Amino acid sequence: MTTRTPYDIAAHASSDDPRITLEEQLGTFEPIPPYPPRTEREAEFYTLRDGEMFVNMGPQHPSTHGVLRVVLKIDGEKVVDLDPVLGYLHRGVEKLCENADYHQAICYTDPLEYISSLFCEWSPVMAFEKLLDVQVPRRAEYIRVLAGELNRIASHALFMGWFALDLGGLTPILWSFIERDEIVEMLAALTGQRMLFNYFRIGGVNGDLNHEFMSRLGTWMSKATSQINSNQALLNENEIFVRRARGLGVIDTATALNMCMTGPNLRATGVPFDVRRAHPYSIYPELDFDIPTRVEGDCLARYLLRMDEIKQSLRIIDQCLNEMPDGPIMAKLPRLIRPRPGRAYAAIEGPRGQYATYAISDGTDQPYRMRIHDPSFVHLQTVGLLMPGNLIADTMAIMASLDPVMGGVDK
Amino acid sequence: MDRALRRRLEARFGERLTGPVRQRHDETEIRIAPGDVPEILLALHDEPELRFRMLSDLAGVDTGSAMQVVYHLWSDTSGDWLRVIADGLSRDDPRAPSVTFLWKGAEWMEREAYDMFGITFEGNRDLRRIYMPPEYTSFPLRKDFFLPDDASRSPGGGVRPMEQTHGPTNAEAEAHIRQAPAS
Amino acid sequence: MTVVGRTWERLTIPGKILAVVIPLGAVLTAGLALLIALIGGAVVQFLVDNLPLVRFVVAATIVLLMTVPSAFLIIYMEMKVIALMNLRYGPDRVGPFGSALSVVHGLKVLMKEDFTPTSADVPVFTLAPVVVYMSSVMSLLVLPFAPGIFGQDFNIGLLYFFAMGGLTVVGLLMAGWSSFNKYSLLGGLRSAAQVVSYEIPLTLSVVGVVLLAGTLSINKIVLGQAGSVLDWYVLRQPLAFAIFFIAVTAEANRTPFDLTEADSEIVAGFATEYSGMRFGFFFFAEYVNVFIASGLTVALFMGGWNAPFNWPWPVTVGLDPGGLGIGLLFLLALGPPVVIIVLGLPFYLLNSQVKFWQALIIGFVLFNLLAVAAVLGLAFLSFDWVVGLLWFMGKTYVFVFTFVWMRGTLPRVRIDQLMGFAWKWLLPASLLNLFVTAGAILVVNK
Amino acid sequence: MSLIPGLGLVKGMALTLRRFFQPKVTHLWPEVPAEISPKFRGRLQLLYDEHGTLKCETCFQCAQACPIECIDMGGVDTKGRYAVHWGASETYGERREESALRRSGRTVPDVAYEHWSPIDLAPVDAILHDADHDPKRLLEILGATQAAYGYLPVAALKRISFGTGAWYAMVYGTATYYDHLRFEPPAAAAAATAPSSRGALEGDYLSGLDQAISGATKPAGRVH
């Protein structure tokens, strides 16, 4: 009988190969990949020192926010190292977009981050408008900002529930879903769908504001602040919550910049980088709002920062409603779009950070290359820095505080 | 549009740029050779009048004849996006230096570019496939990788097996694709 | 084909069943009669001689049977109360207000496949839920529900109680170890660490009460709190009460200390690999534990079955049915029909839609309700234990509600915070409480 | 966090207790149907105008725009000559042969119920006028119609039914009762034993396919 490495055994473990004994199969219950290590890092990770063991968290774990698999190397309750394994939700959106025409491509980007779909439409639409040199009507821009900020609130409200759920609180997730459901119903009245809105068009938006949307929005705005504050009161003063989230997963500014972080996760370290101000687009330069920042850079700061952003979004919505101009909602464009050959890069500030699209046109009706940059993808890799040294209970808390959405991570 | 940035870039890098500095809308674009990537990006990152501290995006591009790596940078000294195109990587064996020494966060983006285009980033400590399964052998975002239902562009009206689409370029098949009418 | 075979063939299926059952029943009856005749006297004599044993067996059976409905009730409470706090309706389909949903859950758990994973340690894996459940049920034995209503009145009742409660951790460790799953193992180890740590403040906080009562028997501790709310130990031992409540929450693995089955961290902890009724045992044991924790809190600190105030006008029921003589017969014969007619007549007279027989049915139902109410009221007034039971259950379910309420509100603590809290805060506080109580007793007794 | 330890917990508990008594927000589906906004486009459906005809003009715009190509549609062009189609090849009309339809559980078109071909109805109207639109003189009308057309077209029978007020069944029954009345043109009746035109077309198609496979001729378009 020849000697077999763990990799050989693992390759046969799932089959009914009689040559593999039960003891050997039992050994392969470790989540060691059934092939030789590809990089030094992988080889280093899959080597156990004394007292360490692997725990395979996901892809069916109750709280990995989608289908994420994290291989944890733990020593007792302490996480020594971890290796996120992606790709369970990979759909090849970029390739599909390159095989669809410009209008169809927006449909594909829509379900990338199903929590905040409007932002996934916004950046490709802006990139295509740059390619086409289209001026978007002002009313359309106002409607975009209005709908986008509503979606941002919905996303942040859901974040609150998720974060609390991963810390063991049962109630906030349902309260935040009440908030989100109201916004989503509102957006359904505006866009026609609850989740994958597909509302932004190249050169404008799909439909004008209607009565149902406005009445729902008015009802909600009158009670939004008090309702959101009351929901947060459960967590913000809760000693257990605060003690768990404070000082957990701390990132300093230099590391955050080094890890290419953007959005609330970067602002929680003290950098007031917000694409809406740093590189203004749409009508944001005309609006009056603040960029909340915090300096702690821990999970609590990230949570509180998002709660502050909800208030700023409410301000923006208020201004949009007050200053909404009349006019067309679509620029005049041909039915079939053939931009001149060229390149365009458009970035927007989403609820999770900077969504960006890099589109290359070759003069046909399909984008030659469409690169989609998703903030969740970039933020998820920081767990490799934040997690080691923490306890298993905190892995989910840290991951939730970074607020990744696996649809966007896996593209 | 920041005209000063163009002058600064031309003055600083001059000879190293392989193409003219282009500016359109709010984007500034420079082209460099892949070998110069670490040096130029380090200069862009560190020098006080440039200070491009944020790497917004890292993308691979297959132009059909060569590979590119495209970096998008942002700096607080100018409001523009700076697009750095490392052009002219060979399609057979695309290799580019990694920028993980500057931005550790580029690691996964480089892994993605490797997974999708097969671009090898020298210096990335963990360059393995990130989306596709490890036993997968093709590079899906290359332009000679066709979707199974995209039969009209495939030679012979059929579908080429996915596994044949990577590796050494088949010049004959390539020519056939280029000539095939886009019916 | 014999004659018997042919006859058998001609029988219908019910016939076949009867043809088997009737002779079998006859034989068994005869055998039983014979058995009773032969050794019945001796057995009865033995039981009469060992009455405490009989009492113990009966009490254990009743306690065992009682746990299931009370667990169902608490599960339903948990579903409904947390749902209402979440601004949803919760169960509302099965039964009135969805109250039968937990029963349906129980049936579902019974019907599910009982799955043992490959490479699990089968005997340990199988025994673990039984150990957990039995330890819960056994500790119920010493809990006094009402005057005279308790399984066994040990003079070391409290000690027995904590010993049995501590046995739970053995079952959890067994489950965690034998499942061959790392999440189970982590859950089992967490529960071991947690239960062992919290056992100490739990026990030490009770010592103050024991000093005050001068006994370890829970029954006597409750008796020591007789009187009004001012006599309850919660007023004399508020610190001990706080420590005890926190520690007992941790002992019962309830939020915010439910680390052993933290679903967002370690899937379901020790119960990850369990399914079917074996999981049901764990599940029931958890809710029985909630009941026990609440009951013990009530018994030790909240006066047990004692009413919170002294009823200033004692009511004595001097009802002596025998005194009526022959009148009793007439009352029993004529009373019900007369009352039924009297109660039903108004409906017949006031509403022309109601027919007379319908009015009679209404009257019958009302009469029954009245009769039951009268009997219960009589029992309430004349028997101590009915009053006591009602007070005890009322107080206990207030605490059960508190546990559920906490679960609806609080997030979970981390394992290091949990352990640090036990050793750095609860243990010194309980020791302080113990010394202060002892000193006070010394001073007062002098 | 407040100065008093545990105050935050107590506040949270008070908040949940207040929510305990607040009105609930769950929709009690299915008793209470969900509110769907007029703009909701979750359900795809074809619209009808006030005359009950489909508004869809088979312009294929929706099918072209659909990114996942889930729409397939067929119809005739504006002149009513050619069947046009959009969609995956499995759903092309050519593939809708009898056995395939039967396998897929769809209804199979019956030849007997084929659409009748339109004819020039002026002779029938003249005959009806001569016969004073009298249903009692049906045999006379039918004989004259056969004399005019050479056979009894279905359209003519319908017209007679309409003109005289007799039930179509009665007209049809009368026509079938008498031997001298016939429903097919004389030539078609003679060729009734030969394979039907449908079969002949299939034969053409098969031979063309055979030729294409053997390389005799290149097929002009795609073979589906």
Q: Residue C93's closest chain D neighbor by CA?
A: D28
Instruction: Give me the total of CB pairs closer than 8 Å, taking one residue from chain C and one from chain D.
Output: 33
Least confident of A43-47, C314-318, D112-116, D128-132: D112-116
Q: Which of A391, A351, A294, A377 is closest to A153 using CA atoms?
A: A351
Distance separating alpha carbons of residues C409 and D12, to the nearest angstrom: 7
List C residues 291-310 in contact with D (Cβ-Cβ < 8 A).
Answer: none
- The DSSP H or E segment spanning A361 is strand A354-361
Contact A32, A83 (CB under 8 A): no
Three-class secondary structure of residue A297 per DSSP? coil
pLDDT at D201 over 80: no
How much of chain A, in percent, has pLDDT values that exceed 90?
Answer: 15
A29/B contact by beta carbon, under 8 A: no
List A residues 166-185 in contact with B (Cβ-Cβ < 8 A).
Answer: none
- Residue B118 resides in a domain: yes
- Write the DSSP symbol of residue C99: T
- Residue D137 resides in a domain: yes
- Residue D210 resides in a domain: no
Same domain, D130 and D91: no
Contacts of B126 in chain A (CB under 8 A): 39, 41-42
Same domain, B65 and B12: yes
Q: Give how far Cα B68 sits from Cα of A320, A345, A361, B94, B97, Å.
A: 41, 16, 15, 9, 12
Among partner residues B81, B135, B145, which is closest to A345 by beta-carbon distance?
B81
Chains touching chain A through at least 3 C-beta pairs below 8 angstroms are B, C, D
- Residue B73 resides in a domain: yes
Same domain, D143 and D91: no
> Residue C28's pLDDT is what?
95
- Residue B133 resides in a domain: no
* Chains C and A: 3 or more CB pairs within 8 Å of each other: yes
Tens of pLDDT, residues D38-92: 788 776 677 777 776 777 776 777 776 666 666 766 666 666 666 666 655 444 4
Tens of pLDDT, residues A160-192: 888 888 888 888 888 888 889 889 989 988 888
Q: Give the residue-averaged pLDDT of A120-132.
A: 91
Contacts of C409 in chain D (CB under 8 A): 9, 12-13, 15-16
Same domain, B114 and B28: yes
- Residue D35 resides in a domain: no
- Residue D128 resides in a domain: yes
User: What domain range includes position D166?
Assistant: 122-189
pLDDT at D21 over 80: yes
Q: Give the residue-averaged pLDDT of B125-131.
A: 87
Per-residue buried b or exposed e for C309-321, using 16+ beta carbons within 10 Å of the residue's own CB:
eeeeeeeeeeeee
Long-range pairs for D99-105: beta carbons < 8 A, 24 or more residues apart: none
Same domain, B116 and B153: no
Q: Which of B128, B156, B153, B129 is closest to B143 using CA atoms?
A: B153
What is the nearest CA distance from B11 to chain A, expressed in angstroms? 24
* CB contact set of B165 (below 8 Å; sequence gap of 6+): B138, B142, B144, B145, B146
| Domains of chain A (ranges, CATH numbers) | 94-403 (1.10.645.10)
Three-class secondary structure of residue B69 per DSSP? strand
Same domain, D130 and D181: yes
Return the beta strands (E) in A137-201 as ranges: 200-201
pTM value > 0.80: no
> Residue B160's pLDDT is what?
38
Same domain, B118 and B175: no
pLDDT at B154 over 50: no
Query: Which CATH number does the domain housing residue D169 bear?
Result: 1.10.10.1590
> Residue C316's pLDDT is what?
67
User: What domain range includes position B177?
Assistant: 148-183
Last residue of a domain, one of B122, B140, B163: B122
Contact D22 C408 (CB under 8 A): no
Contact A103 D65 (CB under 8 A): yes
Distance separating alpha carbons of residues A199 and A205, to the nearest angstrom: 6
Contact C162, C154 (CB under 8 A): no
Among partner residues D13, D25, D28, which is closest to C405 by beta-carbon distance?
D13
Long-range pairs for C378-384: beta carbons < 8 A, 24 or more residues apart: C378/C317, C378/C319, C381/C315, C381/C316, C381/C317, C382/C317, C382/C319, C384/C146, C384/C147, C384/C148
Amino acid at D71: I
Largest Cα–Cα separation, chain B: 57
- Residue B23 resides in a domain: yes
Q: Place D96 in a pLDDT band, splitting at 50, 70 and 90.
A: very low
Distance separating alpha carbons of residues A264 and D143, to the nearest angstrom: 91
Q: Give the residue-averaged pLDDT of A353-372.
A: 88
- Residue B65 resides in a domain: yes
Half-sphere CA count of C22, side-chain side, radius 13 A: 6
Same domain, B52 and B107: yes
Same domain, D130 and D185: yes
Return the beta strands (E) in A58-183 as ranges: 69-75, 78-85
A166/C contact by beta carbon, under 8 A: yes
Q: Which residues pair with D76 in a beta bridge?
A: D83
Same domain, B81 and B14: yes
User: What is the phi-psi region of residue D105: left when phi exceeds 0, alpha when psi lies from -120 to 50, beta otherwise?
Assistant: left
Q: Which of C150, C257, C243, C146 is closest to C200 using CA atoms?
A: C243
- Write the DSSP symbol of residue D112: G
Q: Residue A76's closest chain C neighbor by CA?
A: C186
Contact A239 D67 (CB under 8 A): no
Query: At B88, phi and psi to the nearest 5?
Result: 80, 35
Contacts of C253 in chain A (CB under 8 A): none
Contacts of D6 in chain A (CB under 8 A): 239
pLDDT at D13 over 90: no
- Residue B138 resides in a domain: no
B103/A contact by beta carbon, under 8 A: yes
Q: Number of structural domains, chain B?
A: 2
Distance separating alpha carbons of residues D59 and A335, to the nearest angstrom: 14
Contact A139, A325 (CB under 8 A): yes
Last residue of a domain, one of D51, D83, D109: D109
Q: Place A149 in a pLDDT band, splitting at 50, 70 and 90.
A: very high
Q: Give the residue-averaged pLDDT of B106-122.
A: 90
Contacts of A367 in chain B (CB under 8 A): none
Query: Which CATH number does the domain housing residue B114 bear?
Result: 3.30.460.80
Distance separating alpha carbons of residues C10 and D101, to the nearest angstrom: 52
Among partner residues C86, C256, C414, which is closest to A391 by beta-carbon distance?
C414
Strands B67-75 and B78-89: antiparallel
Residue D203 corresponds to which tokens in the numbers above?
A: 């034969």
Distance separating alpha carbons of residues C223 and C304, to the nearest angstrom: 8
Tens of pLDDT, residues A228-270: 888 888 888 888 888 888 888 899 888 888 898 998 998 898 8
Q: Which residues pair with A79 in a beta bridge?
A: A74
- Residue B143 resides in a domain: no
Among partner residues D2, D25, D39, which is closest to A207 by beta-carbon distance?
D39
Among partner residues C88, C408, C414, which is closest to A394 by beta-carbon distance?
C414
Contact D8 A242 (CB under 8 A): yes
Distance separating alpha carbons of residues A256 and A352, to the nearest angstrom: 14
Q: Give the residue-averaged pLDDT of A334-350.
A: 86
What is the nearest CA distance from D41 to chain C, expressed in angstroms? 28
What is the nearest CA distance from C257 to chain A, expressed in angstroms? 10
- Write the DSSP symbol of residue C271: G
Contacts of A104 in chain B (CB under 8 A): none
Half-sphere CA count of C122, side-chain side, radius 13 A: 5
pLDDT at D199 over 90: no
Contacts of A175 in chain C (CB under 8 A): 86-87
Q: Place D187 in a pLDDT band, splitting at 50, 70 and 90.
A: low
A38/B contact by beta carbon, under 8 A: yes
Average pLDDT of chain B is 78
- Residue D96 resides in a domain: yes
DSSP B74-141: EETTEEEEEEEEEEEE-SSS-EEE--TTT-TTHHHHHHHHHHHH--EEET-TT-S-SSS-TT--S-TT
List D residues 10-29 in contact with C (Cβ-Cβ < 8 A).
Answer: 12-13, 15-17, 19-20, 22, 24-26, 28
Q: Place B71 in a pLDDT band, splitting at 50, 70 and 90.
A: very high
* CB contact set of B154 (below 8 Å; sequence gap of 6+): B146, B160, B177
- Residue D100 resides in a domain: yes
Distance separating alpha carbons of residues A107 and D117, to the nearest angstrom: 46
Query: At D83, phi and psi to the nearest 5?
Result: -75, 130
Measured from the Cβ of residue B13, the count of other Cβ atoms closer than 10 Å reads: 18
> Residue C259's pLDDT is what?
80
pLDDT at D216 over 50: no
* CB contact set of D35 (below 8 Å; sequence gap of 6+): A185
Residue B177 corresponds to which tokens in the numbers above?
A: 């694709």
A99/B contact by beta carbon, under 8 A: yes
Distance separating alpha carbons of residues C374 and A180, to the nearest angstrom: 53
> Residue A356's pLDDT is what?
92
Distance separating alpha carbons of residues C141 and C56, to the nearest angstrom: 9
Strands B78-89 and B27-32: parallel
Distance separating alpha carbons of residues C89 and C260, to the nearest angstrom: 28
pLDDT at B137 over 50: yes
Contact A374, B109 (CB under 8 A): no
Q: Residue B182's closest chain A neighbor by CA?
A: A364
Torsion angle defined by CA atoms of residues D149, D153, D159 and D162, in that order, rounded to the nearest 10 degrees: 140
Same domain, B36 and B100: yes
> Residue C34's pLDDT is what?
92
Distance separating alpha carbons of residues A394 and A245, to the nearest angstrom: 9
What is the nearest CA distance from C125 to chain A, expressed in angstroms? 18
> Residue B151's pLDDT is what?
42
Among partner residues C119, C263, C412, which is closest to A62 by beta-carbon distance?
C263
Q: Give how far Cα C373 sits from Cα of C366, C367, C368, C370, C379, Å.
A: 10, 10, 8, 5, 10
Residue C272 corresponds to which tokens in the numbers above?
A: 């990850």
Strands A342-349 and A354-361: antiparallel
> Residue C161's pLDDT is what?
87
Residue with tokens 């001298």: D180
Instruction: Give me the total of CB pairs closer than 8 Å, taking one residue from chain A and one from chain C.
Output: 84
Residue B26 corresponds to which tokens in the numbers above?
A: 């709010």
> Which stretches of chain C score pLDDT less than 70?
1, 311-319, 321-322
- Residue D94 resides in a domain: yes
Contact B59 A39 (CB under 8 A): no
- Return the higher-pLDDT residue of A210 and D201: A210
Tens of pLDDT, residues C370-383: 989 988 887 777 77
> Residue A232's pLDDT is what?
84
> Helix (H) and strand (E) counts for chain B?
4, 7
Q: Give the residue-averaged pLDDT of B46-52.
A: 83
Q: Number of structural domains, chain D?
A: 2
Q: What's the order of all strands across the beta sheet hosting A78-85?
A: A53-57, A69-75, A78-85
Contact A393 C412 (CB under 8 A): yes
Same domain, B17 and B100: yes
Q: Indicate which of A108, A234, A240, A304 best probes the interface with D, i.e. most D CBs within 10 Å of its own CB.
A: A234
Q: Which of B140, B144, B137 is closest to B173 using CA atoms?
A: B144
- Residue B26 resides in a domain: yes
User: What is the phi-psi region of residue B156: left when phi exceeds 0, alpha when psi lies from -120 to 50, beta otherwise?
Assistant: left
Amino acid at A373: H
Same domain, B30 and B104: yes
Contact C304, C225 (CB under 8 A): yes
Contact C88 D26 (CB under 8 A): yes
Contact C84 D24 (CB under 8 A): yes
Same domain, B116 and B65: yes
Q: Indicate which of A28, A79, A240 best probes the interface with C, i.e. most C CBs within 10 Å of its own CB.
A: A240
